[in-house]
Amino acid sequence: MGPRLADIARHAGVSEATVSRVLNDKPGVGGDTRKAVLTALDVLGYERPARLRQRSAGLVGMVIPELDNPVFPMFAQAAEGALAQRGYTPVLCTQTPGGITEDEYVELLLERNVSGILFVSGKHADTSASHERYHALVARRLPIVLVNGYSDDIPAAFISADDREAGHLAVNHLVALGHTRIGFTSGPERYVPVRRKLDGFHQALAEHGLDGDDLVELSLFGVEGGHAAANRLIERGVTAMVCGSDIMALGAIRAARQRGLRVPQDFSVVGYDDSQLIAFTDPPLTTVRQPINAMAMAAVRALCDEIAGHPVSHAEYVFDPELVVRGSTTAVPSVRETRITAPVRPVRDHESAAQGR
């Protein structure tokens, strides 16, 4: 049975006439529109006409968490562009609380005969979750690449930001500004990136002769989690706070202001990710930049190499984060009053180079 134009048009959001022009390879259709029609054709399970098959090397699944944190759409966009350059059609699978699970998405992708799957901050990052789902995919020889979360029992390529270094960078910056009571918050400790950031936080404090054991408040990811953690930490006398995401940092800033504290004059905040628009918040957020574009390119390259049958190292490729100093951090009041200028690293707009480890 041939493809139904009405179904494809509805899925792609175009007219049936446009679908017909694309399927017959006629001119007069924009590149984005043509791509939307071909993606709809693939996702609905229809076989492409012979004249169009060479334009796609196949489908690739991208399973990512919710879209509330803008870092995930950033990764999806970068990976989609890299896949398109290699002729692959990405199928984006977004998880939401109470919605389709990662395992259900995998079943849907397998039904579509995807060539491979990228998992971003999935169950592989959760130390309490079973990894049998990934072993099953490897056993059926489906190429997979896992982003931000590592487990040495999964024979696959891993792409990660150096979360320990992220914790170091944030603490070193705040200590240089004279802060000694520095709090930390992120999501639940069962997640690998959270554990690594926490390790880096403690290691950096120890290097400066500081103790932060009572200044850690792990919470829920999101604005609300950052807000709740900041309230508890401020009560313990912290003058600065390291957050596991930019979104949590915005919650921390809101909590500080509700308590009558000025940011950064009374309370400094460091985020993580450097997601879009963070440079335009009030105040512009000092953060540790996750090199999203470089990581997305590396993940796509590893996946495409494996799809093509080339050997891919089943190791973790770790990318250096970068401190971006903006307006949400400053010296503690006592340091400012004595006019001691603390060294800080300036904003740099280029991505850090990757280091395979």
CATH number (domain holding residue 45) = 1.10.260.40
The closest alpha carbon to 193, from 273, 270, 126, belongs to: 126
Domain boundary among 34, 56, 78: 56
In a domain, 309, yes or no: no
Which residues are CB-contacts of 264 (< 8 A; sequence separation ≥ 6)? 283, 327, 328, 329, 330
The more confident residue out of 137 and 334 is 137
Q: Do 29 and 177 share a domain, yes or no?
A: no
Q: What is the mean pLDDT of residues 162-185?
A: 97
Shared-domain flag, residues 204 and 340: yes
Is residue 72 in a domain? no
Q: Could you tell me if residue 52 is inside a domain?
A: yes
Does 342 score more than 50 pLDDT?
no
The domain of 8 spans: 1-56
Whether the predicted pLDDT of 337 surpasses 60: no
Same domain for 175 and 51: no
Render 214-278 in DSSP notation, one character per residue: GGB----SSHHHHHHHHHHHHHTT-SEEEESSHHHHHHHHHHHHHTT--TTTT-EEEEEE--TTG
What is the predicted pLDDT for the residue at 226?
97
CA distances from 119 to 86, 206, 303 (A): 19, 34, 11
**Which of 193-197, 280-284, 350-354 is modeled with the greatest confidence?**
193-197
Whether 285 and 279 have beta carbons less than 8 Å apart is answered as yes
> Do the domain assignments include residue 116?
no
Residue whose structure tokens are 């989690």: 225
How many domains, the chain? 2
Inside any domain, residue 306: no
Say which range, 119-133, 139-153, 173-187, 334-348, has the weakest mean pLDDT.
334-348
Q: What is the pLDDT of residue 48?
A: 74
**In angstroms, rounded to a whole number, what is the distance separating the alpha carbons of residues 186 and 350?**
26
Task: Please give the helix or strand (H or E) that residue 354 lies within, else none.
Answer: strand 354-356
- Identity of the residue numbered 291: P
211 and 352 in one domain?
yes
Closest residue by Cα to residue 220 from 189, 247, 187, 248: 187
Residue type, 74: M
User: Does residue 26 register a pLDDT over 90?
Assistant: no
| Mean pLDDT score, 299-317 | 93
CA distances from 192 to 88, 166, 175, 188 (A): 30, 14, 25, 10
22 occurs within a structural domain: yes
Tokens of 348: 């740099």
Report pLDDT digits (tens) over 42-88: 778 777 776 665 545 689 999 998 777 889 999 999 999 899 888 89
Residue 145 lies in a domain: no
- Residue 278, in any domain of the structure: yes
Q: Are residues 49 and 170 in the same domain?
A: no
Q: Residue 58 is inside which H or E element, if any?
A: strand 58-64
Query: From CA 73, how far away is CA 149, in angstroms rounded?
Result: 18
Instruction: Kindly state whether residues 329 and 208 are assigned to the same domain.
Output: yes
148 pLDDT exceeds 90?
Answer: yes
**CATH number of the domain enclosing 242:** 3.40.50.2300
Q: What is the pLDDT of residues 229-262, one digit of tens each?
A: 999 999 999 999 999 999 999 999 999 999 999 9
- Going by C-beta distance under 8 Å and a sequence separation of 6 or more, which residues neighbour residue 146? 119, 122, 124, 134, 154, 156, 157, 158, 159
User: Do 259 and 276 form a contact (C-beta atoms < 8 A)?
Assistant: no
Query: Are 40 and 186 within one domain?
Result: no
What does the alpha-carbon distance between residue 170 and residue 158 come to, in Å, rounded to a whole number?
24
Distance from chain centroid for Cα 270: 17
Q: What token pair was written down for 141? A: 């020889």
**Is residue 52 a contact partner of residue 42, using CB atoms and an 8 Å limit?**
no
